[in-house]
Structures are given as structure tokens and as C-alpha cells.
């Protein structure tokens, strides 16, 4: 952030409010309040000339004359902060915020100054109070990052992750925030695994957790073993039937693949609103050619989650099989809107538009298909390389332990 942009955003009397930019007015005689106002006006004119070094003494004189002047206190605190005099900025900003508690930007700045002068508890309190009210993105990010750093240093990972999530809502492609999110949630995952292992090492949830982690690292066989053990301990464990069914369905072993549908049925029996289980039942039915069952299950999935692009695509594919192309097109259009990266939706729309002679629309959808297909191919390679690296590391660790 440039100094001038930040100053104009944080000063109580913005630079645009100054009407006189010529010669700096000299304080005249009068009441203390009038003299203080003259010093404030002089400081603002110096700021217009980009001379904060001359504006600061004017504000200090104004504060001496009128200690409870919010403008003078707040602007002096801002200028001292950006001069690097954090210790000097703290008392000025603190008084300004005390006099007018809804000065959220100044309270955020106060928190930053307190953090930088070692007043961590006070800094956190002010940063936490200001953060939800900040709207200027760059400054909100700076305040948020300060909180994340503070929380991380004290092991409050959950609080740090919550702040990063809020920042990502406004900046979903900010790579620094994405990395922070990855790191924090990885730490939370590791912490949860260790705590669960110490708390209930032989419990159903521990086995389900192990199953999920093993599947994530590519060890599907052991993941299946652990999920089955989890369900042996608790046959009605939420989500475990679906997770096991998904692993079985995607297995290259036909015998295991055949065991998937009963798991999805069990998931639905425990939770009739399990949209993902209905969707997988629909895919399984479509694969064996049972169009009626596929339509029923896919329709249920869309009913439960109207904006699930995958469910919309699966229902669209079945509708095309049933020669309901107009309804199918509606599903694909909704899917592309819900998830613009869905390659199947773009490809199918390209086919349908071309059949209708809509060449321009078909070409556009094909271009979108190719763009996102290329992106996903690159992502798959990255994840494949990460998985192979993880498997190799595990193998190396095993050899070293022998």
C-alpha cells in the first residue's frame, strides 16, 4: 500500500476535504478550541503538500490545546504510525478510539501499533474488535494477517484458520491466503489425528479417520480395511457407508466394485437426505443400463442439492438418453452456471447447441471445455506427482525402519 493512499483512507479529515491548498495558514489568537482548529487546518495543508513531518508538530500543538479533539488525536496517531513511531502512535490512537469507539480503521491501526510494541494482548483485542467492521480490502488483509500471525504463534490454529477463511471469501484467488489456508488446515488435520489417537485409538471414528487419510494418500486397500472396521464397531456411523461405497465403486477390482451399492443403500437408510449417496446410486444404475433407476436417483439428488453441478450433469446425461434434450440442456446450463469449471457440462452443451445449428454458442462451449480440461489435466498431474512422492516416502521410511 502506498503511504498516500493509506493516509487518505485512515485520516479522520481526508485530504479531499481540504479546500485551501495554497500558503499554510498560521495559527491566530483566539480560544483554545479555535487555535486547535487552526493547527489542524495547517496540518491538513501540509499533508496536501505531502509534508507529514511538518503536519505532526501542528497536530501535537492542537492536542496540547484540546486533548479531547478526536480529529487531532486520530490524525496524529495515523501520522506517527506511518512514520514508524509505533510507541508514540499508541496513546494517540487509543484516546481517539476511546472518545469515538466506532472508528474501526483507527482501532485496527491501534492494534497493529500495539502488536509492534509488544502489547500483544491489547493488540489482539483491538484487532479482533476492528476486523469484522473493516471494508477496505488491503487494510483488512493487513489486520487479518496480523491476527493470523499472532494466533499461530500461540497455537490458536482454529482462530487463525477462521480469519483466513473470511479473507478468502473476498479474495478467493489470493495465493498467499490459499497457502495459509492449506498450511493451517493441514496443521488442524494433524492435530485432530493425534488427539483422536490419544483419546480413542481403537474407536470407530479413529478407524474412519484413518480410512480417509489412507485414501487421500492413495492406499485404497488399507482405507477400505479401516472403514470396514469402523462400521463393524458402529454400523450407523455417519458418512462411513458412503466413503466405503465410493472407494469400492472406484476400485479396479470387479468383486469390490460389486459391493459398492449396498454401502450407498446403507448410507441412504441412515440418512435419506444423503445427496451424494443418491447420486452414486444413480451413476451405478446408469452404468448397468437401468435408466429408470438412474433417473429416479439423479432426480432425488438434484432435489436435495439443486446447485450440485455433478448431480445436474448426471441427470442431464440420463435425460439425453431418454431423448429429453430440452430438459437435458436446462440441466447442463444450470450445471455450467453453478460450476463454470465443469467440463462435462460444457461439452454436452456444445453437442446440443450444434445440433440446433447454434454454431457460435457451440464453439464457445467447446472452447470452455478445452480450457478447463487442460487446467484439470495439469491439476491431475500435480496431484499424481504428490501422491507418488508420498508413496515413495512411505516406502523409503519402511526400508529405513527394517
Q: Which residues of 164-181 are buried (b: 16+ CB within 10 A; e: fewer)?
A: beebeeeeeebeebeebb
Hey, is 170 helix, strand or coil? helix
What are the grid coordinates assigned to 305, written together? 442439492
CA angle at 281 for the pair 279 and 286, rounded to the nearest 5°: 95
Q: Give the whole-number percent of the chain exceeding pLDDT 90.
A: 79
Q: Give just the sign of the alpha carbon dihedral 88, 89, 90, 94.
A: positive
Q: Which of 2-16, 62-76, 203-217, 319-333 has the lowest mean pLDDT?
A: 2-16
Q: Give the whole-number percent of the chain exceeding pLDDT 70.
A: 88
Residues 6+ apart with CB under 8 A from 358: none
DSSP notation for 140-194: HHHHHHHHHHHHHHTT-HHHHHHHHHHHHHH-TT-HHHHHHHHHHHHHHHHHHHH
pLDDT at residue 172 greater than cutoff 60? yes
pTM comes to 0.72
pLDDT tier for residue 238 given thresholds of 50, 70 and 90: confident
CB atoms inside a 10 Å sphere around CB 20: 11
| CA dihedral of residues 262, 270, 273, 253 (deg, nearest 10) | -20
Taking only the tens place, the pLDDT of each residue in 345-402 is 999 999 999 999 999 999 999 999 999 999 988 888 877 776 655 544 444 443 343 3
Taking only the tens place, the pLDDT of each residue in 76-135 is 999 999 999 999 999 999 999 999 999 999 999 999 999 999 999 999 999 999 999 999
- Cβ–Cβ under 8 Å, residues 70 and 96: yes
pLDDT at 7: 52
Query: Exposed/middle/buried for 341, CB within 10 Å: 0-12, 13-18, 19+?
Result: middle
Question: Of the candidates 319, 286, 281, 284, which has an alpha carbon nearest to the alpha carbon of residue 301?
Answer: 281
Q: Which residues of 242-274 are buried (b: 16+ CB within 10 A; e: fewer)?
A: bbbbbbbbebeeeebeeebbebbebbbebeeeb
Taking only the tens place, the pLDDT of each residue in 51-66 is 999 999 999 999 999 9
Compute the distance between CA of residue 159 and CA of residue 142 in angstroms, rounded to an integer: 16
- Domains of the chain with CATH codes: 1-117 (1.25.40.10), 182-271 (1.25.40.10), 291-387 (1.25.40.10)
pLDDT at 291: 97
pLDDT at 51: 92
Alpha-carbon Rg of the chain, whole angstroms?
Answer: 31
- Cβ–Cβ under 8 Å, residues 327 and 298: no
pLDDT at residue 306 greater than cutoff 50? yes
Amino acid at each position: 500500500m502506498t503511504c498516500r493512499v493509506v493516509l487518505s483512507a485512515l485520516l479522520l479529515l481526508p485530504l479531499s476535504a481540504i479546500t485551501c491548498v495554497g500558503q499554510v495558514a498560521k495559527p491566530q489568537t483566539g480560544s483554545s478550541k479555535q487555535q486547535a482548529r487552526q493547527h489542524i487546518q495547517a496540518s491538513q495543508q501540509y499533508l496536501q503538500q505531502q509534508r507529514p513531518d511538518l503536519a505532526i508538530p501542528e497536530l501535537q500543538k492542537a492536542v496540547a490545546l484540546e486533548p479531547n479533539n478526536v480529529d487531532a488525536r486520530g490524525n496524529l496517531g495515523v501520522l506517527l504510525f506511518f512514520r514508524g513511531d509505533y510507541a508514540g502512535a499508541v496513546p494517540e490512537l487509543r484516546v481517539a478510539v476511546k472518545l469515538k469507539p466506532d472508528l474501526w480503521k483507527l482501532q485496527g491501526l491501534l492494534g497493529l501499533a500495539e502488536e509492534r510494541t509488544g502489547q500483544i494482548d491489547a493488540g489482539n483485542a483491538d484487532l479482533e474488535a476492528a476486523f469484522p467492521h473493516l471494508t477496505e480490502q488491503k487494510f483488512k488483509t493487513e489486520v487479518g494477517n496480523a491476527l493470523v500471525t499472532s494466533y499461530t504463534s500461540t497455537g490458536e490454529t482454529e482462530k487463525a484458520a477462521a480469519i483466513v477463511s473470511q479473507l478468502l471469501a473476498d479474495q478467493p484467488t489470493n495465493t498467499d491466503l490459499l497457502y495459509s489456508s492449506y498450511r493451517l488446515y493441514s496443521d488442524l488435520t494433524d492435530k485432530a489425528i493425534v488427539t483422536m489417537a490419544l483419546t480413542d485409538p481403537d474407536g470407530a471414528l479413529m478407524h474412519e479417520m484413518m480410512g480417509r487419510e489412507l485414501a487421500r494418500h492413495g492406499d485404497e486397500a488399507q482405507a477400505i480395511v479401516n472403514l470396514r472396521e469402523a462400521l463393524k464397531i458402529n454400523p450407523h456411523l455417519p458418512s462411513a457407508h458412503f466413503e466405503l461405497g465410493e472407494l469400492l465403486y472406484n476400485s479396479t477390482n470387479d468383486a469390490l466394485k460389486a459391493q459398492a451399492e449396498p454401502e450407498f443403500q446403507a448410507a441412504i437408510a441412515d440418512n435419506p437426505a444423503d445427496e451424494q449417496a443418491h447420486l452414486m446410486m444413480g451413476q451405478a444404475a446408469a452404468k448397468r443400463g437401468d435408466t429408470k433407476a438412474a433417473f429416479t436417483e439423479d432426480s432425488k439428488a438434484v432435489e436435495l442439492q439443486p446447485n450440485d453441478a455433478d448431480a445436474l450433469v448426471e441427470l442431464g446425461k440420463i435425460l439425453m438418453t431418454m431423448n429429453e434434450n430440452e430438459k437435458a440442456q436446462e440441466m447442463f446450463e444450470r450445471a455450467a452456471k453453478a460450476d463454470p469449471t465443469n467440463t462435462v457440462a460444457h461439452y454436452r452443451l456444445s453437442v446440443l447447441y450444434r445440433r440446433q445449428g447454434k454454431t457460435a454458442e457451440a464453439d464457445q462451449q467447446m472452447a470452455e471445455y478445452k480450457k478447463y480440461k487442460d487446467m484439470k489435466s495439469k491439476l491431475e498431474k500435480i496431484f499424481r506427482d504428490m501422491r507418488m512422492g508420498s508413496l515413495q516416502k512411505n516406502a523409503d521410511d519402511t526400508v529405513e525402519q527394517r
